[in-house]
Amino acid sequence: MENKIHAWLVNPENSEEKQKAMHRLWDSLDNQEDLSSKQEYEKITKKLGFNKKKRMSQHPYYWLRVAVVVLPLLLLIGIYNLTKDVQKDKDKQVVVVDVPYGKHEEVRLACGSQIWIKSGSKIKYNENSNDGARIINLEGQAYLSVTRQNDMPFIVRTKYLDVKVLGTQFNVSAYPDDQSTVVTLNKGSIAIRTIDNKEFKLKPNQQFVLNNTTKEGIIRDLDINVVKDIADWTNGKIVFNNETLKAIALTLKREFDIDVEIDKDVDLNRSYTLTIEQSDNITEIIEIFRCLDNSLSYKIEKNTVYISNNKTE
């Protein structure tokens, strides 16, 4: 009924009908003219140059009467619409979790799903979503354990691809400045759609790698232990499996909030396999690298690590 009244009021085609209704409503009121209002009305009409003989209506105070009837209705409609808008904003309250370098965060959603957010990463989502889907916007890396809801799919949106699931566990690495976006599946199944609408499906222990420049994507089969290593950062470990020096330096920057300066003569593609703890300090980590590769020289000054080739006499 409220919607019908609202539609009737705002429909310009019903103006004559509404005018008659207001006349009937006004005439039905037990109205007594207020002398001061009448005097004020006559002053205003005189200043405006209205001719008393050219009355705008058969009622001398037509517009005043109309205002008395219409304004409360308009006020009620305005309050009703404002209430609806406030409720919509409440239902779609946006939550942003921005994790700085050197920190990790864990978030539990209302549906029971958990998100571990890695350093230098950000997620954004609607706390109370009524859109038929649970949508997470991700910049950076996160590990997700999604509670299954058949009528409410879970979607992770990144710059270059979307991941759609019902219930599963997977890792997404989508840092804006990385060369690739990488999705690794631990359990369940997921569907991936790239920005150019190519679709891929992953099974457990598979990894999807998208080249952010060429937009080409491939699926890799991984050993179960490698998949576990990728997610181990949620347990305080950082595992590098045949990672390049360039990639390791970027990870150290994010995980320990430091700068890493590498001399231009150093081969950035040399690779290493090692495990470090997030509780380690940067001095301990550099000592590990010295044991692994003594061909490089490492120097720490304040919050910066300098790496160069070891010059032999």
In the chain, where the domains are located: 2-91, 94-230, 236-309
Residue 170, C-beta contacts closer than 8 angstroms, at least 6 positions apart = 143, 144, 163, 183, 184, 185, 186, 187, 188, 190, 202
**Assigned fold of 94-230:** Jelly Rolls (2.60.120)
Rounded to whole angstroms, the Cα distance separating 180 from 243 reads 14
Whether domain 236-309 has CATH 3.55.50.30:
yes
pLDDT 10s digit of each residue in the chain, 313 long? 555 555 555 555 555 555 555 555 445 544 444 555 556 556 555 554 555 544 445 555 555 666 666 666 666 666 556 555 544 445 568 999 999 999 999 999 988 999 999 999 999 999 776 667 899 999 999 999 999 988 889 999 999 999 999 889 999 999 998 999 999 999 999 999 999 999 999 999 999 999 999 999 999 999 999 999 999 999 999 999 999 999 999 999 999 999 999 999 999 999 999 999 999 999 999 999 989 988 999 999 989 999 999 876 4
Q: Residues 136, 129: contact at Cβ < 8 Å?
A: no
